[in-house]
Amino acid sequence: MKPIVKKILFFAVVLLLWEGGARLGLWPKIILPAPTDVYQSLKIGFSDLTLVYDLIASFRRLFIGLGIALLIGTSFGVLLAKSKTADETLGSLLLAFQSVPSIVWLPLAIMWFGMNETAVIFVVVLGGTFVMALNIRTGIKNVSPLFTRAAQTMGSKGIDLFIRVTLPASVPYAVTGARLAWAFAWRALMAGELLSTGPGLGYTLRYASDFGDMSLVIGVMIIIGVIGAIVDQLIFSRIERSVLKRWGLQ
């Protein structure tokens, strides 16, 4: 049986059990509405374009924040890999920051920028920067010395050596770093939007929770999870596998 068939059957069984349990009253609907109720909430949300505007706003913040995170993270990663002093000082700080959940940065972001778009993007940037920096650092440090020596014997050095040998050899780690940065940034975005005042999936999730609309709450959660899975599996996973195969690592 193909994996896709197994997945379809699995989720079909889960939905049937969920719907059946809700219809039989095994739990209060206010706690866990039936899938059909969730579907109706999502249908209304997309029909009146509320969820469409939320998706556009969320992706705009994500692209801005993730782009900045990848740029800053790559720069820090190169610095940590090339400077022992920076690695022993700034590197330790980045390791500590990476273990801090994104939602912890929210109070600081609100105090600095207020409850606005900038605060949300700030949290997204922090969510993706550290993991990208550490992966770039690891990738550059793990470049085989044989590659470096071979290039040096042919006269390559300095920036030429970095561009022709070090950078291409560390591409698999950069792709993995981008994939992880996306995942961390996506979660950071949802955390930041919980306290935002404008459109966005996180804001709608909090709004629905405040008014006890559990169907919409679960619907938004499903959208968040589905988007995360689709982007990871259909985009980043394929790119990562392609790069690993091309570099002879798979």
CATH of the domain at 186: 1.10.3720.10
Per-residue burial over 79-112, b = 16 or more CB atoms within 10 Å of its CB, e = otherwise? bbbeeeebbeeebeebeeeeeeebbebbeebbee
Domain range for 216 is 38-246
Q: Does residue 193 lie in a domain region?
A: yes
CA distance 95 to 93: 5
pTM: 0.88
CA distances from 146 to 38, 141, 228 (A): 57, 13, 39
Count how many domains the chain has: 1
CA distance 86 to 78: 10
Q: Does residue 159 lie in a domain region?
A: yes
Q: Does residue 21 lie in a domain region?
A: no
Q: Does residue 54 lie in a domain region?
A: yes
CA distance 205 to 153: 59
Q: Does residue 80 lie in a domain region?
A: yes
**What is the per-residue pLDDT for 248?**
62
Count the Cβ atoms, other than its own, within 10 Å of residue 32.
17
**What is the per-residue pLDDT for 82?**
87
Cβ distance 35 to 19 under 8 Å?
yes
Q: Does residue 155 lie in a domain region?
A: yes
Q: What is the mean pLDDT of residues 209-220?
A: 92
Q: What is the mean pLDDT of residues 193-220?
A: 89
Out of 132-136, 140-144, 188-192, 246-250, least confident range: 246-250
Q: Does residue 94 lie in a domain region?
A: yes
Q: Does residue 188 lie in a domain region?
A: yes
The 10s digit of each residue's pLDDT in 22-75 is 888 888 888 899 999 999 999 999 999 999 999 999 999 999 999 999 999 999
